[in-house]
Structure 1
């Protein structure tokens, strides 16, 4: 039986170890992780920080993405968390963890989940650049 063990949208710092613990299970033989990290550049411009803003429906949309992924792939466990608020370069922005009996299913489901949440979960980021400018980037839909 597939279990979505955690879905969260939070201002609290993310932990890869916590998400890994969420998907561990005696039946799991392979775990796939995706960790999104704030980088120091975008489109050739130097980024100093990001601010993520989530629509009030973001947590529900994230949970739905996780459930649909769990149903569509031969996986046993799923956990996903997205950060909101102010993040500095190097901070973790999103962690996706998927456990399956075998690696291929875990890897495919992990990729699907990160791609789907970027398309469907209403979370946006405002990037701050070293030249003082900012840019809003849509990660999901409203």
Structure 2
């Protein structure tokens, strides 16, 4: 299990290739990369991500451990950035490896839902006209009910 919470950029393709190469015994690898998007048509300067370092890493590690046990995963990678991120930058990546695709897909989806709604990150949109903290979205909360 590889959990990274970092300010540095990362190369999703290189991470996926390395993860896949290390998962040779698996039958399926699923990857997802989240990208900072400008939902206000060109007004987003950057997204600021804040967190409590020890709390965030241990929380993600615990939920990744739950995914490993629930779907018999061979490997998990979670990368989540913090700091100021510009539109178009990779903000996070999840990769799962399992013997079969159903487990790899379900676990990746589970982890993404958790990261979106429960991981201890706080996001602020800094726009050309001001800044606001991002509130939890009802659809993100509802997605958790599947698990």
Shorter chain as denominator, the TM-score bin is: 0.7 to 0.9
Q: Cα distance 1:20–1:62, how it changes in 2: closer, same or farther (>3 A)?
A: farther
Extract unaligned runs of 5+ from structure 1. Answer: none
Matched, 1:135 2:103: no
Q: 1:14 aligns with which of 4, 10, 13?
A: 10
Q: Cα distance 1:123–1:19, how it changes in 2: closer, same or farther (>3 A)?
A: farther
The structure with the largest helix share of the pair is 2
Aligned length: 133
Extract unaligned runs of 5+ from structure 2. Answer: 137-147
TM-score normalised by length of structure 2: 0.81
Q: How far has the Cα of 1:95 moved from its partner?
A: 0.3
CA deviations over 1:7-57 (Å, ceiling 9, x no partner): 011111122222542353221121111111001115x78322111101231
Q: How far has the Cα of 1:62 moved from its partner?
A: 1.1
Q: How does 1:1-142 map to 2 (within 5 A)?
A: 4=1, 6-16=2-12, 17-23=14-20, 24-41=22-39, 46-56=43-53, 57-130=55-128, 132-137=129-134
Q: Cα distance 1:100–1:65, how it changes in 2: closer, same or farther (>3 A)?
A: same
TM-score normalised by length of structure 1: 0.84
The structure with the largest strand share of the pair is 1
Q: How large is the Cα RMSD of the aligned pairs? A: 1.9
